[in-house]
Structure 1
Amino acid sequence: MDGVDNSTRSSAAPVGGDGAALSGPDLARAALQAAREQSAARRGNAGKKTGGFRPRRRRGWSGPGPDDRDPQPLGRLAARIARERGWTEHLAGGQVFAKWPALVGADVAEHTKPVALKDGELTVQARSTAWATQLRLLQRQILKRIGDGVGRDVVRRIKVQGPAAPSWRHGPRHVSGRGPRDTYG
């Protein structure tokens, strides 16, 4: 014929097993049985009976295992956002400031404080010149401990500053010269 499968074409008068034309409820049962067989043939299990109701699984429901749509811990979401936006370097630098006493020890942290971290150079201010000298001597050990605690390439150098000298400048206005404007020569 014209390329159409004859098994799917319905004849004008369906015929039962005894050769008589079907009508009424028998016709409905035969049509239902034919539809079930065609459906089973399409799924690949033509010989199987599909009696009974089988609930359809809705797409979009997650199963008993973990899924991307499950609620996530806030820390994991924050870490993923930081990684996607390239903030990990800045966050690692912030950890140096937050974990300073744990990284260098309580004794050193009592007399020093981190001031700035820029391009891998950590600026640390000491309370006295003696502690500044001590910190310069301990620089390698401190770099190793920071690398182990926060990350290898976060801090590559340490710049140590001594205590800040007192300033005579107070307020927005200033007159150049020495000392307070008193009766000095």
Structure 2
Amino acid sequence: MYKKKNPHPASIRKSEATPLGQVINEMFDAYHLNKKVDHTQVVNLWPKLMGKTIANHTKGVFMKDNKLFITVESSALKHELHMNKEKIIHMFKEKLGKEVVKEIVLL
């Protein structure tokens, strides 16, 4: 017997006008894009929050599973970042208004 599937939430038409911002938020929720946008924001914020000096000595900044991976060129800088992991996580939380970075991994 053929079972009819429920329509995707993003494809359901509404009878009244909806603000564009709300529509975009609903689409992001429907297509599970919020996490990817958050991760992109973290990577883009890295040089702004850390400053040019630190950003120039860190390479390969990327996010995976709420972990921020950072490749560090200098062992002294790696040690300094290691000692300030919690502070850095707090800075991202403050800037983004939510906890996106839960752990920092230094490579």
Larger Rg: 1
How many residues are aligned here?
91
Q: Answer 1 or 2: which has greater strand percent.
A: 2
Aligned to 2:17: 68
Q: Distance in 1 between matches of 2:61 and 2:34?
A: 20
Contact 2:70/2:106, CA 8 A, preserved across alignment:
yes
The one-letter code matched in structure 2 to 1:146 is F
Counterparts of 1:110 and 1:134, CA distance in 2: 15
Shift of 1:79: 3.4
| Coordinate RMSD, CA, aligned | 2.2
Task: Using structure 1 for the length normalisation, give the TM-score.
Answer: 0.43
Greater share of helix residues, 1 or 2? 2
Q: d(CA) in 1 for partners of 2:44 and 2:100?
A: 14
State the partner residue of 1:115: 61
TM-score with structure 2 setting the length: 0.69
Gap runs ≥5 in structure 1? 1-66, 162-185
Q: Percent identity?
A: 24
Superimposed CA distance per residue, residues 78-136 of structure 1 (whole angstroms, 9 cap, x where no aligned partner): 43311232211111011111121123233322222353322221110112111111111
In the alignment, does 2:86 pair up with 1:140?
A: yes
Matched to 1:152, the amino acid is K
Which residue of the partner structure matches residue 12 of structure 2? Answer: none
- Residue of structure 2 equivalent to 1:80: 26
1:158 aligns with 2:104: yes
